[in-house]
Amino acid sequence: MRTDGPAAGRDRFVAAFQWMLLARTFEDKIAALYRAGKIVGGVYLGRGQEAFSAALGMQLSQENGDVFAGLIRDQAGRMAFGEPILDSARTYLGSVEGPMRGRDGNIHRGRPLRGMPAMISHLGAMVSVVNGMLVAKRFRGRTDVVGGAAIGDGGTSTGAFHEGLNQAAVEKLPLVIAVADNQFAYSTPTSHQYACEDLSDRAAGYGIRGYRIDGTDLETCLETFAEAIERARRGEGPQMVVGKLLRLAGHGEHDDARYIPDELKAKPHGGDCLLLAREQLLTKSWMSEDQLAALTAETQDKVEEAVARAQSEPDPNPFRESWHALATKHLAEGTPAAD
């Protein structure tokens, strides 16, 4: 819900910036731990996508029952939506106290009952899951609940994405699909991914509203998602927001992304949304250098604290595991005899 007036605009911007900074700081920490060999498995960063991600996550309302289905580069959006920093830290560090209890790791986390479905790796697969969550809400008379789902440029090539988006359109569900076109899918440039001019050209084909924005400009992201969420909530059906930006990291931290030419960083949509937002804060005098320094320090502390806590927690113990995959315990088969 937008409250207009300059103060509201400032507050929203500052709040978003704080989530962006928290996400960036947290991910820098995780990347450092990864380099130090303290993280098992992959580490995938949202560097460069924080504005786009946070603008959606922040403007959805967990209290209202909204849904936010983040993918691998949505640290900012997840936090802004309401994922506790401890959930992230614990999952990356494999703590048994985390929401995935060491069974799943890194970005494969969630709390489905609090509007945060836990992504599976298969790209595109979460779109229809969010649809289903919205269908369930509608069955219970809630049509004012919005679901946000993230996807990348690469993910739009999946059949699951298409089926999911079309399904949402046919059912006129309050889905906001956020396409972060960061110009690459792993090493693959968009020229090998799609042949339209802009992915927002797809909206008409689903009969839904499309938006095409600079995903590095926080204010634009905030405004656009505010409108998209409002329209979805009002019953106007799915909204597709395509943000152009650039992945400012490797696909994962194992990848030096040599294949991304430096020129791209100088081109429009190639900038660092966090630096841009920081500049704007200063230009508009919404925050001073001192305030920013204090915020940075405070954010760093929050991250260190969460990571330290997660690191101190126990790893999962295989002898305490139930080793059954069913909720209906009595129907679970024993492990084979020889085992």
Ligand X SMILES: Cc1ncc(C[n+]2csc(CCOP(=O)(O)OP(=O)(O)O)c2C)c(N)n1
From a copy of itself, Mg ion, ligand X, none, which one binds at residue 163 (CB under 5 to 8 Å depending on kind)?
a copy of itself
Q: Select the span of 20-28, 131-139, 146-154, 195-203 touching Mg ion (CB under 5 A).
A: 146-154
Residue bearing tokens 């799943």: 104
Q: Verify binding: residue 318, other proteins, rule CB under 8 A.
A: yes
Torsion, CA 91, CA 95, CA 98, CA 100, rounded to 10: 70
Q: Verify binding: residue 61, other proteins, rule CB under 8 A.
A: no
Identified binder of Mg ion from the candidate list 152, 237, 238, 250, rule CB under 5 A: 152
Q: Verify binding: residue 143, a copy of itself, rule CB under 8 A.
A: no
Contact 33, 307 (CB under 8 A): yes
CB of 177 to a copy of itself, least distance (A): 13
Interatomic CA distance for residues 228 and 237, integer angstroms = 10
Helix (H, G, I), strand (E, B) or coil at 330: helix
Task: Kindly provide the residue ranges of all beta strands, DSSP E only, lying in 157-304, ordered along the sequence.
Answer: 175-181, 184-185, 188-189, 209-214, 239-244
Q: Verify binding: residue 123, other proteins, rule CB under 8 A.
A: yes
Chain centre to alpha carbon of residue 247: 14
From other proteins, Mg ion, ligand X, none, which one binds at residue 301 (CB under 5 to 8 Å depending on kind)?
none
Q: Which is closer to ligand X, CB of 181 or CB of 219?
A: 181
Identified binder of ligand X from the candidate list 186, 268, 284, 297, rule CB under 6 A: 186
Identified binder of other proteins from the candidate list 14, 32, 125, 282, rule CB under 8 A: 125
CB of 69 to ligand X, least distance (A): 14
CB of 119 to Mg ion, least distance (A): 15
DSSP code per residue over 79-99: HHHT--HHHHHHHHHT-TTST
Chain centre to alpha carbon of residue 50: 9
- Of 223, 255, 337, 286, the closest CA to residue 34 belongs to 255
Q: Which is closer to a copy of itself, CB of 124 or CB of 152?
A: 124
The burial class, CB within 10 Å (0-12 / 13-18 / 19+), for 148 is buried
Q: Verify binding: residue 169, a copy of itself, rule CB under 8 A.
A: yes
Identified binder of ligand X from the candidate list 121, 288, 291, 296, rule CB under 6 A: 121
From ligand X, a copy of itself, Mg ion, none, which one binds at residue 24 (CB under 5 to 8 Å depending on kind)?
none
Interatomic CA distance for residues 218 and 221, integer angstroms = 5
Q: Verify binding: residue 182, Mg ion, rule CB under 5 A.
A: yes
Contact 203, 209 (CB under 8 A): yes
Q: Verify binding: residue 208, a copy of itself, rule CB under 8 A.
A: yes
Binding site for ligand X (CB under 6 A): 72-73, 121-123, 152-155, 158, 180, 182, 184-186, 247, 251
